[in-house]
Amino acid sequence: MTKPLIGILPLYDTEKESYWMLPGYMQGIEDAGGIPVMLPLTTLLR
């Protein structure tokens, strides 16, 4: 059985103009048997 890919949106820090994510989010997905994928945070889909 293949592991599911699970997309996660990052957080954005306006002061540093950077994307970030708490490592626990990705680790939780891995612990549950999934593969975490950080999705791009973009306005293209609006």
pLDDT at 23: 83
- Please say whether the beta carbons of 9 and 19 come within 8 A: no
pLDDT at 18: 87
What tens digit of pLDDT does each residue of 35-46 get?
999 988 776 655
pLDDT at 36: 94
Placement of tokens 């549950």 in the chain: 32
- Round to whole Å and give the CA distance between 42 and 46: 9
- Please say whether the beta carbons of 34 and 3 come within 8 A: yes
pLDDT at 44: 60
Q: Which residues of the chain have pLDDT under 50?
A: none
